[in-house]
Amino acid sequence: MTTYTNTLYHYVHCPFCVRVRMGLGYLKVNYKSVVLSYDDEDTPVKLIGKKMLPILDTKHGFIGESLDIIKAFDESNVLFTTDFTNQLPQIEDLLTEIGANVHSLAMPYWMWTPEFSSNSRQYFKQKKEIKRGSFNLLVKNSHSFITDLKNTLTNIESNLTPYFSSDKITLVDILISAHLWGMYIVPEFQFSEKMHQYLQSVKAECNFNYHEDYWQ
């Protein structure tokens, strides 16, 4: 009997894509990795009708929401995904708080990674500056974003036991870590030792290699 290989269409930098890679890694789900160019609109539109990643091609069809992808494979609830609904409002607020600063700090650096060509870099910059303003100004005001992010991280650290409000890794840790992971690229910023160890612990639990396959 032929085993079906799932195919994950994703971006390298995208926190929502990173959370899926972490989730599938923890759940030991095999998949083929396909990194799309950021200016490739045709592929995601053809697959699910709109430009949005990640998308997982499974034997049952396409799944186009990161949380839906993880939940579809956490059948034994090892990441406590069925309990996540009760925490959702609180966690969504926390992720929004994290994302507002992480994206403003990291986007000007993400676009210079090998993931981007000159065309996709320009496309990315134009799209993101509509929402966040000039990348030059984001870099200039980085100290303000860093101050706000550090306040958020202090709150997160106070809830680590050693995972977020838990002695076991849960979906919440994957969501938090996926958003924060992109900060390792920002030269002006450094995680505290406690936060660094937390992120590295989640990384190890999730067999997450941050695209070593792609960089090779």
DSSP 12-73: SS-HHHHHHHHHHHHTT--EEEEEPPTT--HHHHHHHSSS---EEEETTEEE--HHHHHHHH
Give the long-range contacts of residues 25-30, CB within 8 A, separation 24 or more. 25/206, 25/207, 25/208, 26/78, 26/79, 26/169, 26/174, 26/205, 26/206, 26/207, 27/70, 27/73, 27/74, 27/78, 27/79, 28/207, 29/73, 30/5, 30/6
Mean pLDDT, the chain, rounded, equals 93
Tens digit of pLDDT for each residue in 33-73? 999 999 999 999 999 999 999 999 999 899 999 999 999 99
Please check whether the domain covering 81-206 is classified as CATH 1.10.3720.10.
no
Q: Where are the domains of the chain?
A: 6-74, 81-206
Question: Which pLDDT belongs to residue 181?
Answer: 93
Q: Say yes or no: do domains 6-74 and 81-206 share a fold.
A: no
Q: Which CATH superfamily is domain 6-74 in?
A: Glutaredoxin (3.40.30.10)
The percent of residues in the chain predicted with pLDDT above 70, rounded, is 95
Question: Which pLDDT belongs to residue 36?
Answer: 96
| Mean pLDDT calculated for residue range 138-158 | 97
Tens digit of pLDDT for each residue in 151-190? 999 999 999 999 999 999 999 999 999 999 999 999 999 9
